[in-house]
Amino acid sequence: MQSHIRTFAIAGVLAVSTALTPAAFAADTEVTLGAQLEPPNLDPTGGAAAAIDEVTYSNVFEGLTRFTSDGSVVPGLAESWEISDDGKVYTFKLREGVKFHDGSDFTAEDVKFSLDRINAEESTNAQKALYADIESVEVVDPSTVKVTLSKPNGSILFNLAWGDAVIVAPETAATNATNPVGTGAFKFDDWVEGDHIDLVKNPDYWGEPAKLEKVTFKFISDPNAAFAAVMAGDVDSFMPFPAPENLAQFEADPRFNVVVGSTEGETILSTNNKQPPFDNPKVREALAHAIDRSAIIDGAMFGYGTPIGTHFAPHNPAYVDLTSQSDYDPEMAKKLLAEAGFADGFTTTLKLPPPSYARRGGEIIAAQLRDVGIETEISNLEWAQWLEQVFKGKDYGLTIVSHTEPMDIGIYARPDYYFQYDSPEFQKIMEDLNNTTDPAKRTELLQAAQKKIADDYVNGYLFQLANTGVVNAKLKGIWPNRPTQANDMTSVYWED
């Protein structure tokens, strides 16, 4: 009798354990990724939202060149290229035998169409400026394209690797927003708005085929729900995970790996350079000294993040560490404020977008600024309001945001950009940079640019956002770093 009971008990336990882990059996070729933001559409050439690239980049759409996990640029749909001696003509040799998901062939015509489309007048491409130097695109033969630039541009291969320059077919370009057709290792399958997007393996992929049959992007905006979904095994990976405070709990659980990589996200205290009193460089310098970066990284990010002293990623070889130039020194800040004529301080606005780095970082910065006499009126905004009021309307004193585009120091050369920094000197450096192809000279110019904006204290430079996330311990091949806004799933697989 007793042994009977035991048998039943064991059978019961087995039944329960299989019932609880159905995913473990079905999951060897399927992956569900968690993501906080749902893309507004799926056409990376037509919108600025990072979430578009996070689903489609490299999975569905490919460009002539592409980023790898470490941020280097490698051939994509272009097999190789030649650059003319004057640096103005790039001749791309395209891969052969590439097909779009609808079965049509990928040819030089598609490349010409895609690149011309970016610079067309009615183009809604979010990064038009990156490709403005492209003067003409010429089809030499079906597998050769000649791109002519109006002036040498050393970063054009890098720019072509962005999601904004992926190659699309003329027949499907108009419908890519809802039914993306690309050349990637995954095909778009289904989109249930507000819930998930399914991609399935492209059996006719030109390169190494994907190891997964199906990838699902599940959208969970609430950090608590995200935590529960990971803990329950509903999602296999969540990168970046929205609540850094939960990472310690994942770390303690053998089912998960916590991944800490780098991103291109310079998190800055953006300062409205045209709004008094921030038009006074002394005030901005005071601001820089009033901020204690380590307290912000510790308090808002639970220690994840690298302090920066300029708008540049620390993992980039050209980075110069300028953090000591804006050391935390409240006495110095008070002195500078007094010199600028604000001995009694002043009041300004601090408008914060939703991410926790901004909301929490904002409270910490407000307290630090209060210590030197600057009062801030905090208002918490949703992304749409933030884009409207701060980014477009420039109606703000201070804000906190992470600039996640790669190598985006060039934004400081745009006087109408939302922090309204207008320095002909800096613009000259950027122009020189674009006209330079020699790597050593480029590094020199990039460093000069970093120093210039640090010297001018354009913004408060806080920290480089870390790519912190949680991945099922058996799932391999997820990019630890985030060189661009992407979740490249092409080489992800389940380990037995």
Partner 1 sequence: MSDMSLNSRPASGLLGSALRSPSFMIGFLLTLLFVLAAVISFFWVPYDVTVLNIPNKLKAPSLEHWFGTDIFGRDIFSMIMVGARVSIAVALVAVGIGIVAGVPLGLLAAARHGSLLDEVIMRGNDLVFAFPALLIAIMITAVFGPGAINAIIAIGIFNIPVFARLARGAALSLWTRDYVLAARVAGKGQARISAEHILPNILNLLIVQGTIQFSLGILAEAGLAFVGLGTQPPLPSWGRMLAEHQTLYALAPQTVIFPGLAIVLTVLGLNLMGDGLRDIFDPRLRRAR
Nearer to partner 1, 154 or 362 (CB): 362
Helix residue ranges per DSSP H, 215-280: 223-232, 247-251
> Judged by CB under 8 A, which stretch of 74-82, 196-204, 314-322, 378-386 contacts partner 1?
378-386
Tell me the closest approach of the beta carbon of residue 223 to partner 1, in angstroms: 5
Q: Rounded to whole angstroms, how far apart are CA atoms 361 and 244?
A: 13
Nearer to partner 1, 265 or 362 (CB): 362
Residue 139 interacts with partner 1 (CB under 8 A): yes or no? no
Contact present, 296 and 465 (Cβ < 8 Å) = no
Return the CA Rg of the chain. Answer: 25
Window 166-205: contact mask with partner 1 (x via CB under 8 A): ----------------------------------------
Q: Rounded to whole angstroms, how far apart are CA atoms 202 and 101?
A: 7
Q: What residues from 334 to 363 belong to the interface with partner 1 (CB under 8 A)?
A: 359-360, 362-363
Nearer to partner 1, 66 or 360 (CB): 360
Nearer to partner 1, 61 or 227 (CB): 227
How many residues bind partner 1 (CB under 8 A)? The answer is 23
Q: Rounded to whole angstroms, how far apart are CA atoms 137 and 116?
A: 7
Q: Rounded to whole angstroms, how far apart are CA atoms 12 and 23?
A: 19
> Judged by CB under 8 A, which stretch of 191-199, 322-330, 376-384, 426-434 contacts partner 1?
376-384
Give, in degrees to the nearest 5, the angle at Cα 71 between 426 and 402. 55
Residue 80 interacts with partner 1 (CB under 8 A): yes or no? no
DSSP state of 55: H
Residue 233 interacts with partner 1 (CB under 8 A): yes or no? no
Q: What residues from 417 to 476 belong to the interface with partner 1 (CB under 8 A)?
A: none
Tell me the closest approach of the beta carbon of residue 473 to partner 1, in angstroms: 20
Q: What residues from 238 to 257 belong to the interface with partner 1 (CB under 8 A)?
A: 243, 245-246, 248-249
Residue 364 interacts with partner 1 (CB under 8 A): yes or no? yes
Residue 223 interacts with partner 1 (CB under 8 A): yes or no? yes
Residue 83 interacts with partner 1 (CB under 8 A): yes or no? no
Nearer to partner 1, 379 or 427 (CB): 379
DSSP state of 209: P
Q: Is 349 exposed, middle or buried (0-12, 13-18, 19+ CB in 10 A)?
A: middle
Residue 298 interacts with partner 1 (CB under 8 A): yes or no? yes
Contact present, 484 and 67 (Cβ < 8 Å) = yes
Helix residue ranges per DSSP H, 171-324: 223-232, 247-251, 281-290, 293-301
Q: What residues from 276 to 295 belong to the interface with partner 1 (CB under 8 A)?
A: 295
Q: Rounded to whole angstroms, how far apart are CA atoms 77 and 63?
A: 6
Q: Rounded to whole angstroms, how far apart are CA atoms 324 and 75?
A: 39
Binding site for partner 1 (CB under 8 A): 223-224, 227, 243, 245-246, 248-249, 295, 298-299, 359-360, 362-364, 366-367, 370, 377-380
